Amino acid sequence: MTLYRPAKQTRARIDVPPLPRDPGPPAWNALLPPPEPAIELSENTSADWLVVGAGFAGLAAAKRLSQLRPEDRIVLLEGKRVAEGPGGRNSGFMIDLPHDLQSEDYAGSLEADRKQTWANRLAIDFAAQMATDAGLSREAFDRCGKINGAATNKGHQHNLDYAAHLSSLGEPHELLDADAMRAKTGSDYYTSGLFTPGTAMLQPAMYVRGLAQALSSNRVRVYENS
């Protein structure tokens, strides 16, 4: 009788760098005064919850854990300084309405867009509450809405099509003509604009630095360069 053994399975090795590639100083963070010296993890410690990364998601997770488990000890580790990673490099806005950049008019299906809008607003509501709890200024977080400006006939048609989609969703919006855009911007460049009120504008480095400072306590420890 011959015994057959399966061939040994080998796994390809993937080398993962400990930190992402550093493209240089984040511009948002460079606008701010230098932070206080970092508190680094220099000895063994224990915690009920460990959150890795003090960006938007990590800070929100630590905040929510502190609400749900007020007696637990939470450790938040950031491999660099807070706001030196992606959290301090993003575009600086949170959009509530879905915008499918692959479609002709940014619109998707009505039901899918309603679900996405609900999820987006839930996240923005939580971000707004964190900003309020941390005492952040409107420079750091401001739910002021946004204007999608059009400078060509094609762009203007996109605004019209997306406005029609928003009407189908029952979402508030305002179409602005060239005169209204000139009054707002001081420029003759734009032919139209589409204002939607639910977008939040951020200074992301100020936002994440402020949240990290506000979260730091006996129960929530934030360690940088760790």
Fill in the amino acid letter for 213: Q
List 75's β-bridge partners, or say none. 50, 221
- Give the span between the Cα atoms of 68 and 47, in whole angstroms: 15
Q: Strand 49-52 and strand 74-77: pairing?
A: parallel
Quick count: other Cβ atoms within 10 Å of Cβ 211? 28
Residue 17's pLDDT band (cuts 50, 70, 90): confident
- pLDDT for res 7: 54
Give residue-wise pLDDT tens across range 25-71: 899 999 999 999 999 999 999 999 999 999 999 999 999 999 999 99
List the chain domain ranges.
37-91+204-226, 93-202
The answer to whether residues 51 and 62 touch, using CB atoms and an 8 Å cutoff, is yes
Give residue-wise pLDDT tens across range 141-196: 999 999 999 999 999 999 999 999 999 999 999 999 999 999 999 999 999 999 99
- Give the span between the Cα atoms of 183 and 122, in whole angstroms: 33
Percentage, residues of the chain above pLDDT 70: 89
Residue 105 CA to its chain's centroid (Å): 24
Q: List all residues 6 or more positions away from 20 whose beta carbon is below 8 Å from its beta carbon.
A: 85, 86
Q: List all residues 6 or more positions away from 148 whose beta carbon is below 8 Å from its beta carbon.
A: 158, 159, 162, 193, 194, 196
Supply angle C-alpha 30, 62, 145, rounded to 5: 60
Q: Strand 146-150 and strand 192-196: pairing?
A: antiparallel
User: Which of 78, 74, 45, 44 lies closest to 62, judged by CA?
Assistant: 74
Residue 1's pLDDT band (cuts 50, 70, 90): very low
Backbone angles phi, psi at 49, to 5 degrees: -140, 135
- Mean pLDDT of all residues belonging to the chain: 91
Q: What is the DSSP letter of 7?
A: P
Give the residue with greater pLDDT, 95 vs 109.
Answer: 95
The answer to whether residues 191 and 156 touch, using CB atoms and an 8 Å cutoff, is yes
Pick 37-91+204-226's CATH classification: 2.20.25.90, 3.30.565.10, 3.50.50.60, 2.40.10.10. Answer: 3.50.50.60
The answer to whether residues 194 and 177 touch, using CB atoms and an 8 Å cutoff, is no
